[in-house]
Amino acid sequence: MDRSQIIETHGFDSETLPTDQQFAAWASFTAHSEVSRPADGGPFHASARFWRLDGMLVSAQTVDAFCMDRNAAYLSATAASHFMVVVPRDGRSHFTAPGIDQDCQAGDVIFANLRMLGRCDNADRQQTIAISIATSFLEAAAGRIEVHGRLRRSPETRLFVSFMAALVQQLPYTPQTAVASLSRILRDLLANAVLSGAPEDTTPQGRSPSLSARARAYVDAQPPGELDMQRMVQSLATTRSSLYRAFRDDGGVAAYDRLRRLRRLHRAVADPLDRRSLTELGVDHGFPDPPNLARLFRRTFGYSMSELRAQLAFAPIHNASPTSSAVELYRKAVGDLV
Protein backbone atom coordinates (compact mmCIF):
# COMPACT_ATOMS: atom_id res chain seq x y z
CA MET A 1 0.00 0.00 0.00
CA ASP A 2 1.15 3.56 -0.74
CA ARG A 3 2.61 5.03 2.49
CA SER A 4 0.63 8.22 1.89
CA GLN A 5 -2.51 6.20 2.59
CA ILE A 6 -1.25 5.03 6.01
CA ILE A 7 -1.93 6.84 9.29
CA GLU A 8 1.09 9.07 9.78
CA THR A 9 3.48 8.19 12.62
CA HIS A 10 5.16 11.17 14.30
CA GLY A 11 8.16 10.70 16.55
CA PHE A 12 10.51 12.29 19.04
CA ASP A 13 13.84 11.08 20.43
CA SER A 14 15.87 13.13 22.92
CA GLU A 15 19.04 11.20 22.05
CA THR A 16 19.41 13.35 18.93
CA LEU A 17 19.84 16.49 21.06
CA PRO A 18 22.66 17.83 23.25
CA THR A 19 22.42 16.60 26.84
CA ASP A 20 21.54 20.01 28.29
CA GLN A 21 18.57 20.34 25.92
CA GLN A 22 17.02 16.89 26.26
CA PHE A 23 14.67 17.40 29.20
CA ALA A 24 13.52 20.86 28.12
CA ALA A 25 12.75 19.57 24.63
CA TRP A 26 10.61 16.75 25.97
CA ALA A 27 8.91 18.98 28.58
CA SER A 28 7.88 21.38 25.79
CA PHE A 29 5.28 18.82 24.68
CA THR A 30 3.22 19.62 27.78
CA ALA A 31 1.46 22.96 28.22
CA HIS A 32 -1.26 21.96 30.69
CA SER A 33 0.90 20.78 33.64
CA GLU A 34 4.14 21.59 35.41
CA VAL A 35 6.80 19.05 34.40
CA SER A 36 9.90 18.44 36.52
CA ARG A 37 12.55 15.76 37.07
CA PRO A 38 13.99 14.37 40.34
CA ALA A 39 17.57 15.34 39.49
CA ASP A 40 18.74 18.44 37.66
CA GLY A 41 21.10 18.13 34.71
CA GLY A 42 22.52 15.09 33.00
CA PRO A 43 21.11 13.02 30.14
CA PHE A 44 17.36 12.57 29.87
CA HIS A 45 16.02 9.76 27.72
CA ALA A 46 12.64 10.33 26.12
CA SER A 47 11.40 8.66 22.96
CA ALA A 48 7.87 8.65 21.69
CA ARG A 49 5.67 7.87 18.72
CA PHE A 50 2.22 9.37 18.35
CA TRP A 51 -0.75 9.11 16.02
CA ARG A 52 -3.72 11.44 15.50
CA LEU A 53 -7.11 9.78 15.29
CA ASP A 54 -10.60 11.29 15.35
CA GLY A 55 -11.10 13.10 18.66
CA MET A 56 -7.95 11.71 20.25
CA LEU A 57 -4.18 11.44 20.22
CA VAL A 58 -2.50 8.07 20.90
CA SER A 59 1.15 7.82 21.96
CA ALA A 60 3.67 5.16 22.98
CA GLN A 61 6.66 6.40 24.91
CA THR A 62 9.69 5.50 27.02
CA VAL A 63 10.68 8.28 29.42
CA ASP A 64 13.12 8.69 32.33
CA ALA A 65 11.85 9.59 35.83
CA PHE A 66 9.73 12.75 35.89
CA CYS A 67 6.77 14.41 37.60
CA MET A 68 3.72 15.90 35.92
CA ASP A 69 1.69 18.20 38.19
CA ARG A 70 -1.65 19.71 37.21
CA ASN A 71 -1.63 22.12 40.14
CA ALA A 72 -3.94 25.01 41.04
CA ALA A 73 -1.87 27.53 39.06
CA TYR A 74 -2.07 25.47 35.87
CA LEU A 75 -5.73 24.60 36.47
CA SER A 76 -6.66 28.28 36.55
CA ALA A 77 -4.23 29.41 33.84
CA THR A 78 -4.85 26.80 31.12
CA ALA A 79 -8.03 25.81 29.35
CA ALA A 80 -7.20 22.10 29.05
CA SER A 81 -10.31 20.07 29.78
CA HIS A 82 -9.73 16.85 27.87
CA PHE A 83 -9.04 13.49 29.48
CA MET A 84 -5.63 11.84 29.65
CA VAL A 85 -5.48 8.06 29.96
CA VAL A 86 -2.17 6.36 30.78
CA VAL A 87 -1.46 2.61 30.62
CA PRO A 88 1.91 1.79 32.25
CA ARG A 89 3.73 -1.12 30.60
CA ASP A 90 6.43 -1.44 33.25
CA GLY A 91 7.78 0.37 36.31
CA ARG A 92 5.77 2.13 39.00
CA SER A 93 4.18 5.53 39.36
CA HIS A 94 2.30 7.39 42.08
CA PHE A 95 -0.92 9.31 41.43
CA THR A 96 -2.21 11.88 43.90
CA ALA A 97 -5.13 14.31 43.92
CA PRO A 98 -7.45 15.65 46.64
CA GLY A 99 -8.71 12.52 48.41
CA ILE A 100 -6.65 10.18 46.16
CA ASP A 101 -3.28 8.55 46.93
CA GLN A 102 -2.56 5.57 44.65
CA ASP A 103 0.40 3.48 43.50
CA CYS A 104 0.14 2.34 39.87
CA GLN A 105 1.96 -0.35 37.92
CA ALA A 106 1.89 -2.34 34.69
CA GLY A 107 -1.65 -3.39 33.79
CA ASP A 108 -3.31 -0.44 35.51
CA VAL A 109 -5.26 2.33 33.80
CA ILE A 110 -4.76 5.86 35.14
CA PHE A 111 -7.62 8.16 34.14
CA ALA A 112 -6.70 11.83 34.61
CA ASN A 113 -9.50 14.36 34.35
CA LEU A 114 -7.78 17.63 33.43
CA ARG A 115 -10.68 19.60 34.88
CA MET A 116 -9.31 18.51 38.29
CA LEU A 117 -6.09 18.81 40.28
CA GLY A 118 -3.73 15.86 39.92
CA ARG A 119 -0.09 14.84 40.11
CA CYS A 120 1.76 11.78 38.77
CA ASP A 121 5.30 10.85 39.85
CA ASN A 122 7.32 8.26 37.91
CA ALA A 123 10.37 7.17 39.90
CA ASP A 124 12.23 5.32 37.13
CA ARG A 125 12.38 5.02 33.37
CA GLN A 126 8.99 3.79 32.26
CA GLN A 127 7.22 2.64 29.12
CA THR A 128 3.63 3.83 28.75
CA ILE A 129 0.81 4.06 26.27
CA ALA A 130 -1.31 7.18 26.55
CA ILE A 131 -4.46 8.65 25.05
CA SER A 132 -5.49 12.28 25.13
CA ILE A 133 -9.18 12.29 24.25
CA ALA A 134 -11.70 15.07 23.74
CA THR A 135 -14.24 15.39 26.55
CA SER A 136 -17.19 15.62 24.15
CA PHE A 137 -16.05 12.55 22.21
CA LEU A 138 -15.76 10.28 25.27
CA GLU A 139 -18.81 11.67 27.06
CA ALA A 140 -20.89 11.04 23.94
CA ALA A 141 -20.47 7.34 24.75
CA ALA A 142 -20.18 7.38 28.54
CA GLY A 143 -22.28 10.34 29.66
CA ARG A 144 -20.87 13.01 31.97
CA ILE A 145 -17.62 11.81 33.55
CA GLU A 146 -16.25 12.90 36.92
CA VAL A 147 -13.82 9.97 37.18
CA HIS A 148 -10.27 10.72 38.35
CA GLY A 149 -7.56 8.24 39.29
CA ARG A 150 -6.66 4.57 38.89
CA LEU A 151 -9.48 2.43 37.52
CA ARG A 152 -10.43 -0.89 39.07
CA ARG A 153 -9.14 -3.95 37.23
CA SER A 154 -12.48 -5.01 35.79
CA PRO A 155 -12.81 -7.30 32.74
CA GLU A 156 -13.46 -4.16 30.70
CA THR A 157 -10.29 -2.40 31.87
CA ARG A 158 -8.21 -5.53 31.21
CA LEU A 159 -9.64 -5.74 27.69
CA PHE A 160 -8.79 -2.07 27.14
CA VAL A 161 -5.18 -2.60 28.30
CA SER A 162 -4.75 -5.59 25.97
CA PHE A 163 -6.27 -3.69 23.05
CA MET A 164 -3.94 -0.71 23.57
CA ALA A 165 -0.86 -2.95 23.61
CA ALA A 166 -1.88 -4.46 20.26
CA LEU A 167 -3.01 -1.13 18.81
CA VAL A 168 0.32 0.68 19.06
CA GLN A 169 1.95 -2.22 17.20
CA GLN A 170 -0.52 -1.94 14.33
CA LEU A 171 -1.01 1.82 13.97
CA PRO A 172 2.14 2.34 11.86
CA TYR A 173 0.59 0.04 9.23
CA THR A 174 -3.07 1.08 9.51
CA PRO A 175 -4.75 2.77 6.49
CA GLN A 176 -6.30 6.21 6.81
CA THR A 177 -9.65 4.76 5.77
CA ALA A 178 -9.80 2.90 9.11
CA VAL A 179 -9.47 6.03 11.28
CA ALA A 180 -13.20 6.71 11.77
CA SER A 181 -14.17 3.17 12.74
CA LEU A 182 -10.99 2.60 14.79
CA SER A 183 -11.58 5.81 16.74
CA ARG A 184 -15.12 4.74 17.63
CA ILE A 185 -13.96 1.27 18.71
CA LEU A 186 -11.21 2.69 20.90
CA ARG A 187 -13.55 5.33 22.36
CA ASP A 188 -16.22 2.73 23.18
CA LEU A 189 -13.72 0.35 24.79
CA LEU A 190 -12.45 3.21 26.95
CA ALA A 191 -16.01 4.25 27.84
CA ASN A 192 -16.79 0.70 28.98
CA ALA A 193 -13.58 0.62 31.03
CA VAL A 194 -14.42 3.93 32.71
CA LEU A 195 -18.01 2.93 33.47
CA SER A 196 -17.02 -0.49 34.85
CA GLY A 197 -13.84 0.53 36.64
CA ALA A 198 -14.69 3.68 38.59
CA PRO A 199 -11.56 4.73 40.50
CA GLU A 200 -10.78 2.85 43.67
CA ASP A 201 -10.91 4.38 47.14
CA THR A 202 -13.20 7.23 46.08
CA THR A 203 -16.23 6.14 48.15
CA PRO A 204 -15.69 5.63 51.89
CA GLN A 205 -16.23 2.03 52.94
CA GLY A 206 -19.84 1.28 53.78
CA ARG A 207 -21.20 4.47 52.23
CA SER A 208 -23.67 4.24 49.36
CA PRO A 209 -23.12 6.18 46.13
CA SER A 210 -24.36 9.76 46.33
CA LEU A 211 -27.75 10.81 44.98
CA SER A 212 -25.95 12.75 42.25
CA ALA A 213 -24.05 9.64 41.10
CA ARG A 214 -27.16 7.45 41.20
CA ALA A 215 -29.25 10.09 39.40
CA ARG A 216 -26.71 10.54 36.59
CA ALA A 217 -26.47 6.79 36.13
CA TYR A 218 -30.27 6.62 35.95
CA VAL A 219 -30.50 9.39 33.33
CA ASP A 220 -27.69 7.90 31.24
CA ALA A 221 -29.53 4.55 31.14
CA GLN A 222 -32.76 6.00 29.75
CA PRO A 223 -33.64 5.60 26.06
CA PRO A 224 -33.28 8.92 24.19
CA GLY A 225 -36.24 11.22 24.78
CA GLU A 226 -37.96 8.92 27.30
CA LEU A 227 -36.84 10.43 30.59
CA ASP A 228 -39.84 10.68 32.94
CA MET A 229 -39.30 12.78 36.06
CA GLN A 230 -42.05 11.12 38.08
CA ARG A 231 -40.64 7.64 37.44
CA MET A 232 -37.15 8.94 38.22
CA VAL A 233 -38.27 10.37 41.57
CA GLN A 234 -39.94 7.08 42.47
CA SER A 235 -37.06 4.89 41.29
CA LEU A 236 -34.49 6.87 43.28
CA ALA A 237 -36.77 7.30 46.31
CA THR A 238 -36.11 11.03 46.42
CA THR A 239 -37.84 14.35 45.70
CA ARG A 240 -37.87 16.76 42.79
CA SER A 241 -36.21 19.43 44.90
CA SER A 242 -33.35 17.05 45.82
CA LEU A 243 -32.85 16.20 42.15
CA TYR A 244 -32.82 19.89 41.28
CA ARG A 245 -30.05 20.50 43.81
CA ALA A 246 -28.06 17.51 42.49
CA PHE A 247 -28.20 18.90 38.93
CA ARG A 248 -28.05 22.61 39.78
CA ASP A 249 -24.66 23.12 38.08
CA ASP A 250 -26.03 21.43 34.93
CA GLY A 251 -29.12 23.63 34.73
CA GLY A 252 -31.43 20.85 35.96
CA VAL A 253 -32.15 17.22 35.10
CA ALA A 254 -33.73 18.00 31.73
CA ALA A 255 -30.78 20.21 30.69
CA TYR A 256 -28.29 17.50 31.66
CA ASP A 257 -30.20 14.88 29.66
CA ARG A 258 -30.59 17.20 26.67
CA LEU A 259 -26.87 18.04 26.51
CA ARG A 260 -26.00 14.35 26.87
CA ARG A 261 -28.17 13.51 23.87
CA LEU A 262 -26.91 16.49 21.86
CA ARG A 263 -23.30 15.39 22.33
CA ARG A 264 -24.12 11.90 21.12
CA LEU A 265 -26.02 13.37 18.17
CA HIS A 266 -23.02 15.59 17.37
CA ARG A 267 -20.74 12.54 17.07
CA ALA A 268 -23.27 10.69 14.92
CA VAL A 269 -23.65 13.63 12.52
CA ALA A 270 -19.86 13.89 12.09
CA ASP A 271 -19.40 10.13 11.71
CA PRO A 272 -18.58 9.39 8.04
CA LEU A 273 -19.87 5.83 8.48
CA ASP A 274 -23.31 6.94 9.65
CA ARG A 275 -25.34 7.98 6.61
CA ARG A 276 -28.76 8.32 8.23
CA SER A 277 -30.55 11.55 7.39
CA LEU A 278 -30.35 14.41 9.87
CA THR A 279 -34.04 13.96 10.61
CA GLU A 280 -33.54 10.26 11.38
CA LEU A 281 -30.58 11.03 13.61
CA GLY A 282 -32.61 13.62 15.49
CA VAL A 283 -35.47 11.20 16.13
CA ASP A 284 -33.06 8.45 17.20
CA HIS A 285 -31.55 10.79 19.78
CA GLY A 286 -34.87 11.95 21.17
CA PHE A 287 -35.40 15.12 19.11
CA PRO A 288 -38.52 14.52 16.95
CA ASP A 289 -39.06 18.19 15.99
CA PRO A 290 -36.51 19.14 13.25
CA PRO A 291 -36.98 22.95 13.42
CA ASN A 292 -36.63 22.97 17.20
CA LEU A 293 -33.60 20.67 17.02
CA ALA A 294 -31.96 22.90 14.40
CA ARG A 295 -32.25 25.93 16.70
CA LEU A 296 -31.08 23.95 19.73
CA PHE A 297 -28.08 22.42 17.94
CA ARG A 298 -26.88 25.77 16.59
CA ARG A 299 -27.32 27.47 19.96
CA THR A 300 -25.32 24.71 21.68
CA PHE A 301 -22.44 24.26 19.22
CA GLY A 302 -22.42 27.47 17.18
CA TYR A 303 -23.11 25.82 13.80
CA SER A 304 -25.79 23.71 12.15
CA MET A 305 -25.89 19.93 11.70
CA SER A 306 -25.63 20.28 7.94
CA GLU A 307 -22.55 22.52 8.30
CA LEU A 308 -20.97 19.98 10.64
CA ARG A 309 -21.62 17.08 8.30
CA ALA A 310 -20.30 18.98 5.29
CA GLN A 311 -17.13 20.25 7.01
CA LEU A 312 -16.14 17.37 9.29
CA ALA A 313 -17.64 14.11 8.10
CA PHE A 314 -15.19 13.63 5.25
CA ALA A 315 -12.23 15.65 6.50
CA PRO A 316 -9.54 14.82 9.08
CA ILE A 317 -9.96 16.57 12.42
CA HIS A 318 -6.31 17.63 12.50
CA ASN A 319 -4.79 19.60 9.65
CA ALA A 320 -1.37 20.66 10.95
CA SER A 321 1.22 21.27 8.27
CA PRO A 322 3.30 18.15 7.53
CA THR A 323 6.42 20.30 7.85
CA SER A 324 5.67 21.25 11.47
CA SER A 325 8.00 19.93 14.13
CA ALA A 326 6.94 17.01 16.34
CA VAL A 327 6.34 19.36 19.27
CA GLU A 328 4.17 21.74 17.22
CA LEU A 329 2.17 18.83 15.78
CA TYR A 330 1.67 17.26 19.20
CA ARG A 331 0.59 20.47 20.93
CA LYS A 332 -1.74 21.40 18.10
CA ALA A 333 -3.30 17.94 18.18
CA VAL A 334 -3.89 18.23 21.93
CA GLY A 335 -5.19 21.76 21.51
CA ASP A 336 -7.75 20.51 18.99
CA LEU A 337 -9.31 18.16 21.56
CA VAL A 338 -12.43 20.17 22.33
Q: What is the pLDDT of residue 209?
A: 60
Residues 236 and 296 in one domain: yes
Residues 107 and 138 in one domain: yes
Residues 84 and 137 in one domain: yes
Cα separation of 317 and 304, whole Å?
17
The answer to whether residue 182 is domain-embedded is yes
Q: Which domain holds residue 241?
A: 211-312
Lowest mean pLDDT among 75-84, 119-128, 173-182, 202-211: 202-211
Dihedral pair phi/psi, residue 93, rounded to 5°: -140, 165
Please answer whether residues 250 and 123 qualify as being in contact, where contact means their C-beta atoms are separated by less than 8 angstroms: no
Q: Looking at per-residue confidence, does 217 or 188 come out higher? A: 188
Q: What's 238's domain CATH number?
A: 1.10.10.60
pTM, 2 dp: 0.64
The answer to whether residue 285 is domain-embedded is yes
Helices 229-236 + 253-270 axis angle, to 10: 110
Q: Looking at per-residue confidence, does 26 or 31 come out higher? A: 26
Residue 313 has pLDDT above 60, yes or no: no
Portion of the chain with pLDDT greater than 90, in percent: 41
| Average pLDDT of the chain to the nearest whole number | 83
Q: What is the pLDDT of residue 204?
A: 41
Q: What is the pLDDT of residue 210?
A: 72
Residues 92 and 193 in one domain: yes
Residues 28 and 134 in one domain: yes
Q: Looking at per-residue confidence, does 321 or 11 come out higher? A: 11
The answer to whether residue 330 is domain-embedded is no
**Count: domains in the chain:** 2
Residues 53 and 192 in one domain: yes
The answer to whether residue 180 is domain-embedded is yes
Residue 2 has pLDDT above 60, yes or no: no
Q: Looking at per-residue confidence, does 323 or 73 come out higher? A: 73
Mean pLDDT of 149-173: 92
Q: What's 85's domain CATH number?
A: 2.60.120.10
